[in-house]
Amino acid sequence: MLYITFGVILLVAVEGVFVANENYVGCFVHRINDQWALKFFSQNFTKMAPYLCLPNCQVMDQKFFGITKNQCFCGNELHSIEVPRYRCNQRCSGKQETRCGGLNVMSVYKVTGVTIPLVPAPSKGCFFWSPTERVLHKEVKKNFQVMNQKECASSCFKIYRKLFGLANGNRCYCGNQILNGNPMAKRFCNQQCQNAEYGQTCGGPLAIEIFDLVPTES
């Protein structure tokens, strides 16, 4: 019962804060050559309104959300063309005074209040590291295709940690405090990050560089 009540309070709060007209981007063709205007399908609602779709796309850290009838989509880029606003003439089933797309068109809005970690992040320094000696509490066990500050910071940000660290060019750690802080000179944290742009460094073979996780709005 507590969770249901909290969910209702959250939706009421979101509805109160979200102003459809101010965040409205426009009316866009929903599908062109088998490509959606927004990349990710989120959810099909029985009763649809913009404030119901918004939280789903906030959690996914996307910049836009779009509605076509009762379907909610999210994305960081618009893969479509804009059409006159009158084309989006479908009344939202959960909020009749707003519009939820139409025939092969989508009402697109900006996602508000998306918080992401600041990159480049403030460095706390370079520290001695080995695979058997933890400097930060948790290692992110993920098959990273690319390793850099952005990838590691995003992983740690999602589990609400205050610090992230990069070691050996391809390892990412998260924590709220430095456990074994044996400082080393910055030159030991000069290993190129795995598959990242040249010049991005991710600690060293025996060193971890630790950074503050600083939230910022995208």
pLDDT of 18 reads: 47
pLDDT of 21 reads: 66
Residues 27 and 87 in one domain: yes
Element spanning 67, H or E: strand 64-68
Residues 45 and 103 in one domain: yes
> 195 in a domain, yes or no?
yes
Residues 169 and 105 in one domain: no
pLDDT of 20 reads: 59
Residues 120 and 208 in one domain: yes
pLDDT of 218 reads: 63
pLDDT of 151 reads: 95
Residues 37 and 109 in one domain: yes
In the listed set 70, 91, 113, which residue is the last one of a domain according to the structure?
113
> 2 in a domain, yes or no?
no
pLDDT of 180 reads: 85
In the listed set 113, 147, 162, which residue is the last one of a domain according to the structure?
113
Mapped onto helix, strand or coil, the DSSP state of residue 139 is strand
Residues 134 and 189 in one domain: yes
Give the residue among 163, 71, 85, 72 at the shortest CA–CA distance from 117.
163
> 132 in a domain, yes or no?
yes
Identify the domain containing residue 23 by its residue range: 18-113
Residues 57 and 77 in one domain: yes
Chain position carrying tokens 């910071």: 153
Ranges in the chain, pLDDT < 50: 1-19
- DSSP state for residue 1 in the 8-state scheme: -
pLDDT of 159 reads: 82
In the listed set 69, 96, 113, which residue is the last one of a domain according to the structure?
113
pLDDT of 1 reads: 38
> 4 in a domain, yes or no?
no
Residues 97 and 185 in one domain: no
- DSSP state for residue 121 in the 8-state scheme: P
pLDDT of 2 reads: 36
Residues 31 and 80 in one domain: yes
Residues 76 and 147 in one domain: no
Give the residue among 28, 18, 14, 32 at the shortest CA–CA distance from 108.
28
Residues 42 and 80 in one domain: yes
Residues 121 and 210 in one domain: yes
| Number of domains the chain contains | 2
